[in-house]
Amino acid sequence: MHAHEMISTHPHVQGSTNDALIRCIEECYDCSQTCTSCADACLGEEMVAQMTQCIRTCLDCADVCITTGTLGTRRTGSNEQLIARMLEVCEDACRLCAEECEMHADKMEHCR
């Protein structure tokens, strides 16, 4: 099931979903997959040694995004303060990753 459908069935949600949070969850999972794929593509480049920082930044961003999406998905109990902080960290990780990938975007399509 897609995130919205699954979360809406949670007994503590009772159909009353936070659509903005669900969109963030979905975007976090999507970003994690994209960053993982980009890091993997960087590993396949002939100049892989020069891509170390980009690979690291992409993998860090992927890990932060997947963790943020996972924490946001949990609806039992509450930890809104942690979720808010993780969203801030996620935003920083995505910005840093975008800045790093932009340095290679003119040579590598996967970094665009």
Whether the per-residue pLDDT at 8 is higher than 80: the answer is: no
Whether the per-residue pLDDT at 15 is higher than 70: the answer is: no
Mean pLDDT of all residues belonging to the chain: 91
Q: 10-14, 44-48, 74-78: which has the minimum mean pLDDT?
A: 10-14
Contacts of 17-26 with C-beta under 8 Å, sequence gap 24+, read 21/72, 21/83, 24/68, 24/69, 24/72, 24/87, 25/69, 25/72, 25/73, 26/2, 26/69
Sign of the Cα torsion 89, 91, 92, 94 reads positive
Give pTM, 2 decimals. Answer: 0.90
Whether the per-residue pLDDT at 91 is higher than 90: the answer is: yes
Residue the block writes with tokens 């920083």: 92
Predicted confidence at residue 112, as pLDDT, reads 92
Whether the per-residue pLDDT at 60 is higher than 70: the answer is: yes
Residues 17-31 have a mean pLDDT of: 90
Whether the per-residue pLDDT at 16 is higher than 90: the answer is: no
